[in-house]
Structures are given as structure tokens and as C-alpha cells.
Amino acid sequence: MTSPAERNPAVEQLIARSHSLGADPRTTNYGGGNTSAKGTAIDPATGGPVELLWVKGSGGDLGTLAPSGLAVLRLDRMRALTGVYPGVEREDEMVAAFEYCLHGKGGAAPSIDTTMHGFVDAPHVDHLHPDAGLAIATAADGEELTRRIFADKVRWVPWRRPGFQLGLDIAAISNDNPDVVGCILGGHGITAWGRTSDECEANSLWIIRTIDDYIAAHGRPDPFGAAREGFTALPDAERRARALALAPTLRAIASQDRRMVGHFTDTDVVLDFLASQKAPALAELGTSCPDHFLRTKVKPMLLDLPPTAPLEQTIERLHELHAAYRDDYAGYYARNADEDSPAIRGADPLIILIPGVGMFSYGINSQTARVAGAFYTNTINVMRGAEALSTYAPVPEREKFRIEYWALEEAKLQRLPKPKPLAAKVALITGGAGGIGSAIARRFAAEGACVVIADLDAAGAKAVASELGDADVALGLSCDVRDADQVRAAINATVLAFGGLDIVVNNAGLAVSKPLLETTESDWDAEHDVLAKGSFLVSRAGGRVLIDQGLGGDILYISSKNAVFAGPNNIAYSSAKADQSHQVRLLAAELGQHGIKVNGINPDAVVRDSGIFAGAWAADRAATYGVPEEELGAYYAQRSLLKREVLPEHVANVAFVLCTDEFSHTTGLHVPVDSGVTGAFLR
Ligand SMILES: NC(=O)c1ccc[n+]([C@@H]2O[C@H](COP(=O)([O-])OP(=O)(O)OC[C@H]3O[C@@H](n4cnc5c(N)ncnc54)[C@H](O)[C@@H]3O)[C@@H](O)[C@H]2O)c1
Ligand SMILES: [Zn+2]
């Protein structure tokens, strides 16, 4: 049987309208707003018609809404809720009552906004958080502006926290005034309605466009004031360099309470705001839309030095501002919390603004960090609109707190799955396009890490990255580990993409198998350039970020059984592997003071998926042992103590656990992953 949400024309129109509205971030913020349709379907229990409400449920985004993201409720039961509504003080209890109005199983959980959709009689309703609508909603004289811009076609609804009562307020306006097409919700957004889906969408867009036109015609030309001397954007290259120089410090600031992933934005919208006279005062007022408080915190942290200030001085100042931010946030919590409030959720900023350079936004994963940045860009647009016509006046602190620490929001957070072991960690894997490297990348991504795959084989690196997910999960890039500039560029790209670095895996490699007398100088150099020098360059560039961040970290070396075992015909490869193994010990000794662990893995005979074994190496090894090439994997297995063939994922398993808290007290270790080779026992 199909679910009630499917194959109903009202639902099809609703989905199409939602996608169209959700496609433009100025129409509503990511994940924000909700849409609905009312219609009739056949009730499978009675065979008769039943009036239903389809409304976007909790979570998800309008732009990608699917029928499964809709909550489906019976209108007769919804309407009956007014009879049991205990009043605004206990309005949160009504969320549980929605569960008793659901029609059929499946579908999304009804959100707090379900009331406004259900009680407005019009069959189609949009509730959105457009930048333009919020500009009026947050203007000090928003009510007066609404009257001036819309005469009586759009009404003002004073701020109140989203919930049952707000739905009743909106429904009263809508149901009693047939000429009114929507309303501006003070401090919050807009709601519009229509008899058809097209009419509803047209009304929503008309409200937004009318405000935009009004601001263009009547607004001040420079709502943020003139540019501050010295605070304008640095030229591109200098800006990026400065962002990179500051990123480790900023990530440490954002991660004092909990490790965060970062996202960097240096659009003109951000840079122009940060250069402006009004930026400090406006930033202090914070964001307004209720959707924003959890993602951006109530206000950002803004650097008060120009981008040309000496780096040392800037870093020192950032630490002072961080301490002040934490005090301020703790004060905000203490002023507003009561005995029922959830515990404080950490006092570090989620948005850090650096004039002349850009915005760093943070979250528990890359998507969250990116969306936080998008939300603050929305806030800048809102402030610009409000200041063009009036004065930006977001809802008071107490109301912000009531949203940020709302019991219903807390319950949602509590329901989130436990973070994965590598959540909020950023890993760079050299040679990640190859057999072992790609297995490590896959495992790390599955465990929650953001992964950068750096390989000489750019196409291969990109292919592995896109297999793992979108740009929020993985990045594939071209990098020759023999070249210090390319290594630095790869580390920089990692830091700009994900805000920092936590795990470096030296895995790139190649193998040649020749007797001493046939080994050429170029064989020797090829091995030592990639394995010895390449690892050194990657550890050096990555280590600099790890040290600057001060958040510890892991450096792994995929060394080899051959670093220990002295087999024949292997002088160039095995001695370069031994060099890598000693780098593990040397760096473990040197970097321990920074909390950075350095460990090695000694695999052996990983034939499957290995580029090395696809080359001449396999033929040489097969000839050396006198077995057919295709039986090499099996040959190695029977030669081992455990008689098991070693696969890339076995190496990846160990790479993963070495980077978890289970190995928090282990550094300078080499772990064999060779099914047991007595000749390679460590002693
Ligand atoms: N396969 C085994 O049995 C085995 C055993 C012990 C150790 N190892 C080591 O494991 C690592 C991975 O080996 P694999 O078996 O997956 O081989 P692989 O050939 O499948 O992967 C190696 C990757 O390194 C990349 N690479 C080579 N030179 C590079 C450079 N200069 N810069 C950046 N990337 C470069 C290659 O393009 C390739 O994608 C190597 O260091 C290898 O020595 C492998
Ligand atoms: Zn809303």
C-alpha cells in the first residue's frame, strides 16, 4: 500500500513548490521554513474521504523535500486541539498532542510550526525566513514599515516564540481577513497563504520582492556606513595567506569545549560588512531568526584589529577576545537560565569574523560548519536591509535564550546519535588513491572524519573522494609528496576546506625489487624521494598545523614489514622503509610535548587493489619465490603464521584504532599487519 503522502496532486504541488522556494537561499535559510497543503484522500480504514494536512516535518530542507519528509495529519483531529489547549504557558505540551493527529504510519515528525499550517484555513501555506522579510521583522519600527509597504495586504504579528499560540495568532489574521495574503512575524520571518499552490508561492515571492523593491527605492545607499580605514579586504593572495596563518589558532578557539570542523567564507557580502563602520555594533547585537541561535550562537566573535596588524599581536588579541567571549557567554547563560534549563552547551564562538580576511564558521561536522556560515551571511543581509530602512533590533536576549535552551530543542539534541569516533577530525592521506590509502580513507570517512586524499594520481584521488561523498566529506587533490610546494599547497587546501588538520597519514609509496648490483641510482632516489623525503615533507607541513592548533593529533606512517625484515633483492625499497620507521620514533620523541602521537604500521603482502603489486614488483616477487603471479596473495598467506591473506582493510582497521582514544597513550609504536612473519617480529 502506498503511504498517504504519495500520489496525491496536493502533495505533488507541495513538493514542487517547496523545491522552487528552497532553491534560493535568500528565500529561506538552509533547513529553515516549512510549507503545507490541505486536501482530501481516501481513508483506508473507512473507505471514505478524509481531510488531511501535509506539512514539512521537523528537520530537512525545503530544497530537497521528499514526500517522506512530510508529516501527515488529520485536520478534524488537529482542529480539535484548540479544545484541549491549556494556554500559552503550557503550549509546548501540544507538540506531543500532534502525535495523536497523525494519519497512518511513516512520514516525518510534526514540527513546532504545524499549528500555523493547520489552523490557517487557506489550503496552501508557506512559512519562510527570507532575508528581506527578516529585514522588516527585525527593524525597530517593523510594524510601521509593514503598514507603509503593504497597506493592509500583509499584517504584522508581534514576536513570540514559535509554537501553538503563534499559530493561533496567524490563523486569526488569515481566517478573519480575506484580503490579507500573509504576515510579517516580528523577529522571525514571514507566513503567506493561497487558495492554490501557485497562488501561495506567488504571494510568498510577492512579499519578498515588494520588500526588496521598497529597500531599493527608499533605503539608505550605505546601510553599514562608510568603510573603516585599514579594515577593507586584503588582495586575494594575501587574504588567503592570512586566513591560513590564523586558521589553526581560530580552530583551537572554537574547539576549547569540543572539537569542531571549520568552514571559511570570504565573499564580498562578508568582507564589505566586516570593513564597515557599523560592523562592531551590529555584530554585538547578534542574529535574530530563531533558526540561527543553535547554529551560530547568539553572537559572533569579531576581531578588532586590522588585517595588517602583526600576526603575533593578532593571535594574542584573539586569545584575549576568546576569554572575553567565554565570560560574556557564561554571563548570558547565568542571567537567563533557571533550574529547568538544560546545561550550558559550551562557551566558544561558532562564528569568528576577521576584518579584511573573512568569516570562519564552526560545527560538529563540515556540513554544520558550512551552514552556520551561510546563516551568518543571511544575518548580514538581514542587518543590511533593516539598517537601510530603520535600525536593526533583533529580539531581546531573554527570548534568544528561550530558543537556544528550549526544552524541545534540547530533546532533539539528546536524540541525535552519539558522535562517531573520528567525528570533527580532519585527516590527510597521501597516496590515498591507491589500495591501502583508499581503504584508510573509506574507513576514516565511515568513522566520521573529513578526509583529504592527496595523490600523484589526481584523477584517482578525486574518484576516491567522490565515492566517499560530497565536499562536506572528502576532498581529492593532486600532490607530489616529493615537492615541498605541492605538499604545502595540499595542507593549505585541507585547512581552508575543513578549518584544520588532525591526522596525517604518510602512505604514498612505490616499490622496486632488484638485487644490489642491478639497483640504479635512480631506483634508489625514486624510493628515497617518495618514502623518506616525501614523508618528511608531509610530516613537517602537517606538523606545523598540528602544533599551531594545540589540539594534539596523529601522524601515521604506513611503513612495511620490510623496514624490519632483511629479504633479498630489496635494498632501495627496504632501506627507505627503514628510514620511515625511524622517522616514527624521532617524531614521536619530538612531538610528544605537543600531544601529537606518531605511530607506524608494518603491512606485508597486501596484493589485492595494490598498484605496487600491479607493477613489475609482483612479477619480480613471484619470480623470487618461484610461484605464479596470480597466486602471490595465497603464497604470502600460507607463508604467514596465521595463514590469512592481508587485505587493505586490515591495514585500515589498525590505522583507525591508532587514531582513537583507545590508543591515547601510545606513541612511537609500530604495528605489524602481516598475518605473522617471525622474521619481522619487533624486539
Ligand atoms: N601492498 C603491500 O603489500 C604493502 C606492504 C607494505 C607496505 N606497503 C606500503 O603501503 C603504501 C601503499 O601501498 P599500496 O599497496 O596501496 O600501493 P598503491 O600503488 O596502490 O598506492 C600507492 C599510492 O601512492 C601514490 N604515489 C606514488 N608516488 C607518489 C608521490 N610522489 N606523491 C603522491 N602520491 C604518490 C600512487 O599514485 C598510489 O596511488 C606504500 O607506502 C607501500 O610501500 C604496501
Ligand atoms: Zn520559522
Longest dimension (CA), the chain: 96
Q: Contact, 137 vs 381, CB < 8 A?
A: no
Q: From the CB of 606, is ligand 1 less than 6 Å away? A: yes
Mean per-residue pLDDT, 287-298: 88
Closest residue to atom 25 of ligand 1, CA basis: 431
C-alpha closest to that of 120 among 207, 41, 180? 180
Q: What is the pLDDT of residue 622?
A: 85
Q: What number does the ligand 1 atom closest to the CA of 437 have?
A: 16
Quote the pLDDT of residue 5: 46
Average pLDDT, the chain: 95
**Three-class DSSP category at 193:** strand
Which three three-digit cell numbers place residue 573? 625499497
Query: Ligand 1 pocket, 435 CB below 6 A?
Result: yes
- Whether 2 has a pLDDT exceeding 60, the answer reads no
Mean pLDDT of 264-281: 98
The number of the ligand nearest the C-alpha atom of 477 reads: 1
Residue with the nearest Cα to atom 23 of ligand 1?
A: 431
Q: Whose C-alpha lies nearest to ligand 1, atom 8?
A: 560
pLDDT for residue 652 is more than 60: yes
Backbone angles phi, psi at 360, to 5 degrees: -110, 125
Q: Could you give the CA distance from residue 305 to residue 312 in angstroms, rounded to a whole number?
A: 12
Q: What ligand has the least distance to the C-alpha of 674?
A: 1
Q: CA nearest 573: which of 559, 585, 586, 593?
A: 559
Q: How far, in Å, are 9, 103, 109, 209 from residue 44 at the CA level?
A: 18, 10, 21, 43
Partnered with residue 119 across adjacent β-strands are none
Tell me what pLDDT residue 194 has. Answer: 98
Q: Residue 559 and residue 582: Cα distance in Å, rounded? A: 10
Tell which residue, 130, 133, 138, has the closest CA to residue 24: 130
Q: Which of 468, 487, 419, 96 is nearest to 261 (CA)?
A: 419
Most ligand 1 atoms within 8 A of CB, residue of 452, 510, 537 to mutate:
510
Instruction: Give the long-range contacts of residues 656-663, CB within 8 A, separation 24 or more.
Output: 656/421, 656/422, 656/440, 656/443, 656/444, 656/447, 658/554, 658/556, 658/597, 658/599, 658/601, 659/422, 659/425, 659/427, 659/444, 659/503, 659/554, 659/556, 660/421, 660/422, 661/421, 663/597, 663/599
In this prediction, residue 412 carries a pLDDT of 83
Residues of the chain with pLDDT > 70, as a percent, come to: 99
Q: Determine the distance separating the centroid of ligand 1 and the alpha carbon of 433, expressed in angstroms.
A: 9
The full DSSP string for 534-554 is: IHHHHHHHHHHHHHHHTS-EE
DSSP 239-258: HHHHHHHHHHHHHHHHTSSS
Q: Three-state DSSP class for 379?
A: helix
Choose among 475, 591, 544, 540: nearest CA to 249.
544
Question: 7 — phi, psi (to 5°)?
Answer: 60, 30
Q: Please give the radius of gyration of the chain, using alpha carbons only, rounded to the nearest integer.
A: 30
Q: How distant is the alpha carbon of residue 248 from its chain centre? A: 17
Does the Cβ of 358 fall within 6 Å of ligand 1? no
Q: Give the Å distance between the CA of 436 and the centre of ligand 1.
A: 7
Mean pLDDT of 512-540: 97
Return the C-alpha cell found at 444: 576514516
Ligand 1 in reach of 261 Cβ (< 6 A):
no
- Contact by Cβ (8 Å): 122, 200: yes
Give the CA distances from residue 439 to residues 356, 432, 433, 608, in Å, rounded to whole numbers and listed in that order. 41, 8, 9, 11
CA of 33 to the centre of ligand 2 (A): 5
| Annotated catalytic residue within 325, 376, 405, 573 | 573
Residue tagged 516525518 (cell numbers):
108
Does the structure show a pLDDT above 80 at 1? no
What's the pLDDT band for 291 if we cut at 50, 70, 90? confident
Query: What's the gap in Å between 185 CA and the centre of ligand 2?
Result: 9
Cell output for 101: 493527529
What letter does residue 648 receive in the DSSP assignment?
A: H
Distance 144 CA to ligand 2 centre (A): 21
Rounded Cα distance between 19 and 27, Å, is 11
**Dihedral, 523, 526, 531, 534 alpha carbons, nearest 10:** 160
pLDDT of residue 523: 98
139 closest CA partner among 395, 397, 399, 391? 391
Helices (H) and strands (E) in the chain, counts: 26, 18
The per-residue pLDDT for 34 is 94
Strand partners, 429: 453, 505
pLDDT of residue 6: 52
Residue with cell 582493510: 649
Judged against a pLDDT cut of 70, whether residue 301 lies above it is answered with: yes
The grid coordinates listed for 577 are 622503509
Active site residue 100: no
Q: Is the pLDDT reported for residue 4 higher than 80?
A: no
| Residue-wise pLDDT tens digits, 371-426 | 999 999 999 999 999 999 999 999 999 999 999 999 888 888 888 889 999 999 99
For ligand 1, say whether the CB of 29 is within 6 Å of any of its atoms.
Answer: no
14 phi, psi to nearest 5 deg:
-65, -45
pLDDT digits (tens, 9 = 90+) for 560-603: 999 999 988 999 999 999 999 999 999 999 999 999 999 999 99
